[in-house]
Amino acid sequence: MWSREEDMRHDFYRPAASARMRGAVKDGTAVLFDGKIAAPSVTRQAMKRLAGFAPGGPDAAHMHGALNQPYAIPNYRISGHLADVAVPVGFWRSVGNSFNGFFHESFIDELAHAANADPLQFRIDLIAPNSAPCATLLEAVRVMSGWSGKTPDGIGRGVAFTWSFGTPVAEVIEVADSEDGIQITRAWIACDVGTALDPQNIRAQMEGGMIYGLSAAVHGEISFEDGEVQEENFPDYDA
């Protein structure tokens, strides 16, 4: 059995990813979304470890959370680029959706800002023509959070939507600016899983996924120097 230090320095990591986006708005809505995503292929590395060979061709998981979103943007293109790096990578709770959801929704916010539009209503207007249920989901999180588009000084709210593994999910996160930095104060989640056989388990999955994602966004980081992982234990890796 590995020690915590061995595990943190020699295990498989979530793939680092980068994106470049460009877009255009006209008459208050998005008319162009052109994104490029670069990351190592988790699937190829995993198959090589398990089966001894890496499959050729495109890696669909690399594009999940970007190419399959229900936004009705007329000029829409996402291209993926597999980066061959030496860092061992593995599956980390959704793979492509985990970084593409962040990239995609961050740029939707940029487009909403360029259109001088409320970011939640901007999403509803773009999604409704393609998926009324997804637009209704965003309306639900609007009601849950009491979203008005305005917040007091020192308080910020953000909204995001993603379609992941057949389930649309929308979240609103509220943060406060304090002397100790940014604090996450409240969060609301709306999801449409269809028939929930075990509602409490669905709730646990949603809450756990949110905490996992927020921890990674705010704290978690693995860094390398001269090919060696620098973090060894939780004092170095704030979860």
Give the separation between CA 141 and CA 131, rounded to whole angstroms: 16
CB atoms within 10 A of CB 105: 20
Terminal CA-to-CA distance of the chain, rounded, Å? 22
Q: Are 36 and 107 in contact (CB under 8 A)?
A: no
Copy the structure tokens of residue 233.
């234990």
Task: Indicate the domain borders of the chain.
Answer: 1-117
Q: How many residues does the chain have?
A: 239
Beta bridge partners of 37: 19, 80
Copy the structure tokens of residue 14.
């979530």
DSSP assignment of 91-104, as one string? --SSTHHHHHHHHH
Give the separation between CA 169 and CA 172, rounded to whole angstroms: 10
Name the DSSP letter for residue 61.
G
The confidence score (pLDDT) of residue 91 equals: 84
Q: Are 47 and 55 in contact (CB under 8 A)?
A: yes
Name the DSSP letter for residue 158.
E
Q: What is the pLDDT along the chain (239 residues), one digit of tens a residue?
A: 999 999 999 989 988 999 999 999 999 999 999 999 999 998 888 888 888 888 888 888 889 999 899 999 999 999 999 998 889 998 877 788 989 999 999 999 999 999 999 999 999 999 999 999 999 999 999 999 999 999 999 999 999 999 999 999 999 999 999 888 889 999 999 999 999 999 999 999 999 999 988 888 888 889 999 989 999 998 888 87
